[in-house]
Amino acid sequence: MIKLLKIEFKKIRTYKVFWILTGLYFVFLAAGILLAEFMINHIVNNVNSRMPIPFPHVAIYYFPDVWQNVAFFASIRYVLIFPAIIMIILITNEFTYKTIRQNVINGMSKTEFLASKLLIILLMAVIMSIVLAAGAFFIGLSHSGLSEVDFFIKGIPFMVGFFISLLCYMVYAFFCGFILRNTGLSIAIFTLYSLIIEPVIYFIFRAPFMFKNTIYTYLPVNSVIRLTEYPAIPMLKKIMGVNLQEHVSLTACLIPIAYSAIMIVTVFLIMKRKDL
């Protein structure tokens, strides 16, 4: 396992495209999270200009809400698409440059090849989740200090939820790249599906606010994105009268995990039969 990761690391260590996209991902992620409060308050200001009684400004970076809010903004589809594209490039490169053939010729089994790619997905998801958790921790710390008792416990489910989102979404991307084998085509189809086709399906099958379990709930990309479905904004809680989301539901996690499992099994079966 360590050996496979060593090989994968050699493949990406000096690969500029990988590091540029990873860098861009973190820039977008940080910008999205740090600008969220400003943008929400901008909307509040706009609304207030037409209201007799002004809404208070929102604060989203306080413990323990910061965990949920960071997880929410990090799993927005426009941000999550970056690690997915990275994964598509890493797998389709192997077909484009026929290095998958060469790896097998040189004595890697087909199973090991797939395992090495899944391991790099796992490692990337772990590292990115840790970076995000650390970021959320420091944002929370700089806004509220360590006064809240449950500041940490409440964070765990949302960070684990984000990890599952990222992991499963990258597995989807890996699956797409493996099936299509062509970098441009895979990125185009994956992006089109994630950013346009599923939202269109949403408009067709959308359920009234807060009602769940429509077909949409079970669509692969949506099930990933909606693990952290709502941000934790105190004002929103007040208006709705209920807290929209207390934690990440385990059953919600099972949907993307099931999709990922099916995809991984399919990839192994195809790899076993198909000629390289």
Binding-site ranges for another protein (CB under 8 A): 3, 6-7, 10-11, 13-17, 93, 97-99, 101-110, 112, 273, 275-276
Minimum Å gap between C-beta 275 and another protein is 4
Residue with tokens 């949409």: 216
Whether the Cβ atoms of residue 93 and residue 180 lie closer than 8 Å to each other? no
Which residue's CB is nearer to another protein, number 93 or number 245?
93
* CA-to-CA separations, 200 to 173, 204, 215, in angstroms, rounded: 20, 7, 13
End-to-end CA distance of the chain: 23
Which residue's CB is nearer to another protein, number 58 or number 86?
86
In this structure, the number of other CB atoms found within 10 A of the CB of residue 167 comes to: 22
Whether the Cβ atoms of residue 154 and residue 64 lie closer than 8 Å to each other? yes
Phi-psi domain of 98 (left: phi exceeds 0; alpha: psi -120 through 50; beta: other): left
Minimum Å gap between C-beta 177 and another protein is 16
Which residue's CB is nearer to another protein, number 15 or number 55?
15
Which residue's CB is nearer to another protein, number 100 or number 168?
100
Minimum Å gap between C-beta 184 and another protein is 16
| Dist CA 162 CA 140 (whole Å) | 17
Minimum Å gap between C-beta 268 and another protein is 15
Minimum Å gap between C-beta 156 and another protein is 37
Which residue's CB is nearer to another protein, number 119 or number 141?
119
Vertex 181 angle, CA 14 and 5, to 5°: 40
